[in-house]
């Protein structure tokens, strides 16, 4: 009997063909006229899971696009891992910028072009192929696996929380593994162990019941746009980027020297960033590198502002009201509830008394997420990647939030490992999305080893230190 | 031969009928389908001027609606006065709120209802009737008169400056009289001797060439909405309403004790203002009454602000750019040119260096206007009003700007007298616009005396003190 590694070597082309078949289904979740294709992709994936030897494969309905589920639970005494991916894809416009049709996969010079090739069908495929390698060669997996593939990730996972809540028992696992992120560079893998949480607010400042004539009432009437801009927003953050809301930084975990060193391994090309986005200079708190600020420091940003006259030419009014949207990215261990309470209290304090303010929270829980960098699950991931790439993966955080991670972290109380096998410049969400084939093949191998390494750390009762943050 | 006063008494009803005839023409300048009516009103007025004995009556073309001109220049050695009014009116919607059709004048309990009855056809009519009284009874006027009636006042006088420039010789006069303002209250007339000027700007603050992901770049990228609000707008004005642009207050004429006393004669009902506009409190510089702040202090107000995401729900972007419109009301003797130069210099200084700003000026010259309160022309107006109303008129200023006044002041270099004969609550621009008939009859008398009193001060070579501000 051949070893799983050999099986993977022998089925390179077969694996790629299977992925290409999956890529041909235009499962664009945001477009209502693609709903049938999304469903077809779900059915296709459930079939695939059955064919490779997973059990209980099922297309589970939600209020939106379905979730695909399958499991293999025949390793008593071994840990159980929940593996997450998503089978929906982004729209393809502008279509004219594609060099070949987005849903007709094309190979060229070691690259596979096609929508979803990296985000996220390629990563789903490399996992099923690693699982298949185990089952075909040894007849078993080193641990228990529950696989889910979401169909609404690209539209913000509107039904995922309800899905997890409803299926909590079925999904219950010791660990989660999510492959929807990227490597640092070709041959340089990364493990993401923390993400920021998001609190999003809309603030409305009102002074009058109608726009006022700036001649007749200028010097008499309060100006809510002025109050919003020059008194409230000004009070939230100083020009250096430090947030002024009392208590805002409570609980922020300082970065360890080890974390800072890990971050510094990831190249940050300031001049490339500036050129790409047309920035004159970067901005942020002193004492931190840009990467540290983005990954491990909380932020507060105005996302939009509007009020009064915005058309061409001049209209001499004092606006009746003005509004802003602003949001905070929170880091471990900030408490989103405490921040959400501190903000309105502070705004009430700093607002000029001649305006009325209303603040609404537009986001959900907003919890930041972290699996401590020294957690055995992270170490298992490191070992698996080291075996394949011959170097330690970067241990990184993310500046954004991933809805599914936040939901699983909060509702399933299991530590998560975020590990991706695609290149950062794979044009996800853009024309000519691509998959580097060498990275794909290495990813299949790493996925293979991952189950072994996680099996080795055992169930969490033993593995989990007191400091774990679910 | 009867005296002019007697003629006015004898022709009360005739005068009202003539006004009603004028009011029946729906000369709404803003509505293209009323262009013929506007032209008909101009022709009607030119006819009227001929019939009462004025000469050289003419409908003078402009790039928009025409100006009506007529004169009587047979008083050699006497001053020449340019009398301004406008024959166009506001639209009438919402029509359903009118208790009778807006262009079918209706008398009830000493009040005449109809669009234009106060603003400004009623005031044009009382002047022609006073002129007619002089000419019919004495065969002459006490001085030389040039009458103009504009047809685009209600749409912002877009062609008036060009008209004055083109006809500067024809319009050349020693004094201007404008009747398009209101009294303080019934029986309490007012002379307006100063108006504020207007400078209007649009400011755009840009940091990136595209909206940025607030997760991926939050803590790294500058936020132009934050820069606009919390750094630039904040730097323009302090919370108490004091403008912080260096040199902004240069030239501001302090109010004399006499002026403050005059202002204090005009009732200011703070609780009524608050209730009407839904204000919680008034706002403005300490050390000045609301009236003083509105009439004699410069202001800076944000008129509009926009940038980033303004739709429903949350969009987690750092906007590429944000913009604001803001404007300054200037008072005598601020120099608009100096302010227009100081502002961009100051913004360039206070802007964060990681954003790019562009400031455009959207307004014209912006000159404030004043005829010194002790000018003989003002005194002549005071005497004329005192003769009719038995009390001194209030000497007031205005917080807004009147385009025609600014243009005539700047291009014709003649002091202006602003005197109105209608009540402040005449519902100009609103449904059920009305004219108080007793005020109309008294206004005709005051207009009669005005020519006598101005004739008495003689030509400006003698009358004009060194301090006159054209």
Q: Looking at residue A58, which CATH number applies to its domain?
A: 3.40.630.10
| Contact check, Cβ <8 Å, A290/B219 | yes
For residue B444, give Cα distances in angstroms to A285, A396, B19, B20, B159. Answer: 71, 85, 12, 16, 30
Is residue B409, in this structure, part of any structural domain at all?
A: yes
| Contact check, Cβ <8 Å, B222/A282 | yes
| Short-list B137, B159, B140, CA closest to B148 | B159
Map tokens 């169930």 to a residue.
A459
Mean pLDDT along residues B362-375: 90
Q: What angle do CA B444, B446, B448 make, to 5 degrees?
A: 70
Give the pLDDT of residue A466.
Answer: 43
Give the pLDDT of residue B461.
Answer: 67
Last residue in a domain, options B313, B345, B361: B361
Distance (Å, rounded) from C-alpha A224 to C-alpha A229? 8
Is residue A271, in this structure, part of any structural domain at all?
A: no
Per-position DSSP letters for B136-160, written without gaps between them: HHHSS-SSEEEEEEES-GGGT-TTH
Chain B segment 297-316 residues within 8 A of A by beta carbon are 297, 299, 301-310, 313-316
* Residue B74 contacts A where some CB pair is shorter than 8 Å: no
Q: Same domain, yes or no, for B396 and B444?
A: yes
Chain A segment 223-252 residues within 8 A of B by beta carbon are 223, 225-226, 228-231, 233-234, 236-237, 239, 241
Is residue B119, in this structure, part of any structural domain at all?
A: yes
Locate A353 and state its tokens.
């008394």
Q: Number of Cβ pairs closer than 8 Å across A and B?
A: 286
Q: Same domain, yes or no, for A351 and A382?
A: no
| Contact check, Cβ <8 Å, B324/A225 | yes
List chain B residues with CB under 8 Å of A209: 277-278
Give the pLDDT of residue B17.
Answer: 98
Q: What is the CATH number of the domain that holds B345?
A: 3.30.70.360
Give the pLDDT of residue B278.
Answer: 95
Which of the 8 DSSP states describes residue B96? G
Chain A interface disruption, residue of B192, B201, B218, most A CBs within 10 A: B218
Which structural domain range is residue A119 located in? 4-195+368-463
Q: Same domain, yes or no, for B399 and B343?
A: no
Q: For each of chain A's 470 residues, which pLDDT tens digit applies? A: 799 999 999 999 999 999 999 999 999 999 999 999 999 999 999 999 999 999 999 999 999 999 999 999 999 999 999 999 999 999 998 899 999 999 999 999 999 999 999 999 999 999 999 999 999 999 999 999 999 999 999 988 999 999 999 999 999 999 999 999 999 999 999 999 999 999 999 999 999 999 999 998 999 999 999 999 999 999 999 999 999 999 999 999 999 999 999 999 999 999 999 999 999 999 999 999 999 999 999 999 999 999 999 999 888 899 999 999 999 999 999 999 999 999 999 999 999 999 999 999 998 778 999 999 999 999 999 999 999 999 999 999 999 988 899 899 889 999 999 999 999 989 998 999 999 999 999 999 999 999 999 999 998 764 444 444 43
- For residue A69, the surrounding DSSP H or E stretch is strand A67-72
* Number of Cα atoms under 13 Å in the Cβ half of residue A404: 27
The count of other CB atoms within 10 Å of the CB of residue B124 is 25
Chain A segment 180-199 residues within 8 A of B by beta carbon are 196, 198
| Contact check, Cβ <8 Å, B304/A303 | no
Mean pLDDT along residues B191-200: 95
List chain B residues with CB under 8 Å of A157: none
Q: Same domain, yes or no, for A176 and A218?
A: no
Is residue B278, in this structure, part of any structural domain at all?
A: no
Last residue in a domain, options B361, B377, B395: B361
Mean pLDDT along residues B429-445: 96
List chain B residues with CB under 8 Å of A279: 207-208, 221-222, 354
Residue B231: pLDDT over 90: yes
Q: Same domain, yes or no, for A433 and A322?
A: no
Nearest residue, CB atoms, B309 vs list A226, A278, A303: A303
Q: Same domain, yes or no, for B184 and B210?
A: no
Q: What is the pLDDT of residues B267-289, one digit of tens each?
A: 999 999 999 999 999 999 999 99
Mean pLDDT along residues B164-178: 97
Over pLDDT 70: what percentage of chain B?
98
Is residue A237, in this structure, part of any structural domain at all?
A: yes
Q: Same domain, yes or no, for B228 and B181?
A: no
Q: Same domain, yes or no, for A40 and A185?
A: yes
List chain A residues with CB under 8 Å of B210: 277-278
Q: Same domain, yes or no, for B215 and B204?
A: yes
* Residue B294 contacts A where some CB pair is shorter than 8 Å: yes
| Burial annotation A151-177 (CB, 10 A radius, 16+ → b, else e) | bbbbbebebbbebbeebeebbebbbbb
Residue B147: pLDDT over 90: yes
Closest-CA residue of chain A to B218:
A294
Give the pLDDT of residue B144.
Answer: 98
Last residue in a domain, options B342, B361, B380: B361
Domain count, chain A: 2
| Contact check, Cβ <8 Å, B229/A306 | no
**Shortest Cα distance, chain B CAs vs residue A90, angstroms:** 16
* Residue A322 contacts B where some CB pair is shorter than 8 Å: yes
Distance (Å, rounded) from C-alpha B400 to C-alpha A363? 44
Closest-CA residue of chain B to A226:
B302
**Shortest Cα distance, chain B CAs vs residue A214, angstroms:** 7
Locate B372 and state its tokens.
């010194």
Distance (Å, rounded) from C-alpha B372 to C-alpha B395? 11
Distance (Å, rounded) from C-alpha B293 to C-alpha B308? 34
Confidence band, pLDDT 50/70/90 cuts, at residue B469: very low
Give the pLDDT of residue A12.
Answer: 97
* Residue B145 contacts A where some CB pair is shorter than 8 Å: no
Give the burial class of A286: count Cβ atoms within 10 A of its Cβ; 0-12 exposed, 13-18 middle, 19 or more buried: exposed
| Contact check, Cβ <8 Å, A355/B327 | no
Is residue A458, in this structure, part of any structural domain at all?
A: yes
Give the pLDDT of residue B246.
Answer: 98
- The model's pTM is 0.88
Q: Same domain, yes or no, for A75 and A151?
A: yes
Closest-CA residue of chain B to A230:
B234
List chain A residues with CB under 8 Å of B239: 230-231, 352
Chain B interface disruption, residue of A304, A396, A400, A405, most B CBs within 10 A: A304
Give the pLDDT of residue B162.
Answer: 97
Chain A segment 381-400 residues within 8 A of B by beta carbon are 398-400
Is residue B268, in this structure, part of any structural domain at all?
A: no
Q: Same domain, yes or no, for B395 and B451?
A: yes
Closest-CA residue of chain A to B311:
A304
Residue B156: pLDDT over 80: yes
Closest-CA residue of chain B to A228:
B229
Q: What angle do CA A456, A462, A467 make, to 5 degrees?
A: 115
Which of the 8 DSSP states describes residue B89? B
Q: Same domain, yes or no, for B352 and B415?
A: no
Is residue B288, in this structure, part of any structural domain at all?
A: no
């Amino acid at each position: 009997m051949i070893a799983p590694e050999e099986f993977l070597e022998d089925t390179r082309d077969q694996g790629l063909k299977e992925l290409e078949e999956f890529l041909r289904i235009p499962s664009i979740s945001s477009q209502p006229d693609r709903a049938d294709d999304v469903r077809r992709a779900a059915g296709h994936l459930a079939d695939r899971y059955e064919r490779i030897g997973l059990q209980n494969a099922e297309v589970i309905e939600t209020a939106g696009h379905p979730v695909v589920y399958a499991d293999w639970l025949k390793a008593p005494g071994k840990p159980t891992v929940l593996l997450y991916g998503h089978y929906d894809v982004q729209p393809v416009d502008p279509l004219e910028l594609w060099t070949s049709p987005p849903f007709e996969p094309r190979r060229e010079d070691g690259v596979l072009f096609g929508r979803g090739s990296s985000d996220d069908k390629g990563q789903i495929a490399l996992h099923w192929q690693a699982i298949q390698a185990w089952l075909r060669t040894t007849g078993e997996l080193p641990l228990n696996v529950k696989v889910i593939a979401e169909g609404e990730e690209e539209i913000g996972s509107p039904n995922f929380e309800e899905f997890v809540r409803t299926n909590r028992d079925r999904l219950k696992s010791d660990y989660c593994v999510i492959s929807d992120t990227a490597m640092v560079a070709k041959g340089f893998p990364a493990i993401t162990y923390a993400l920021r949480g998001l609190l999003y607010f809309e603030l409305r400042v009102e002074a009058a019941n109608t726009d006022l004539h700036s001649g007749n009432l200028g010097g008499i009437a309060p100006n809510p746009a002025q109050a919003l801009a020059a008194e409230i927003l000004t009070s939230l953050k100083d020009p250096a980027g430090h947030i002024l809301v009392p208590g805002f930084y409570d609980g922020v975990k300082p970065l360890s020297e080890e974390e800072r060193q890990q971050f510094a391994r990831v190249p940050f090309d300031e001049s490339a960033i500036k050129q790409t986005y047309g920035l004159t200079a970067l901005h942020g708190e002193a004492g931190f590198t840009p990467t540290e600020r983005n990954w491990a420091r909380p932020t507060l940003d105005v996302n939009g502002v509007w009020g009064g006259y915005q058309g061409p030419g001049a209209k001499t009014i004092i606006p009746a009201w003005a509004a802003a949207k602003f949001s905070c990215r929170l880091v471990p261990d900030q408490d989103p509830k405490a921040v959400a309470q501190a903000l309105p209290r502070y705004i009430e304090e700093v607002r000029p008394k001649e305006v009325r303010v209303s603040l609404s929270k537009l986001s959900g829980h907003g919890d930041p997420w972290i699996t401590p960098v020294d957690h055995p699950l992270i170490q298992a991931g490191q070992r698996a990647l080291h075996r394949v790439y011959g170097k330690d993966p970067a241990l990184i955080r993310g500046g954004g939030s991933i809805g599914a991670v936040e939901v699983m972290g909060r509702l399933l109380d299991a530590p998560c490992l975020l590990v991706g096998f695609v290149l950062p410049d794979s044009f996800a969400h853009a024309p000519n999305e691509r998959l580097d084939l060498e990275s794909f093949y290495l990813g299949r191998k790493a996925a293979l080893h991952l189950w072994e390494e996680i099996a080795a750390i055992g169930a969490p009762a033993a593995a989990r230190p007191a400091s774990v943050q679910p």
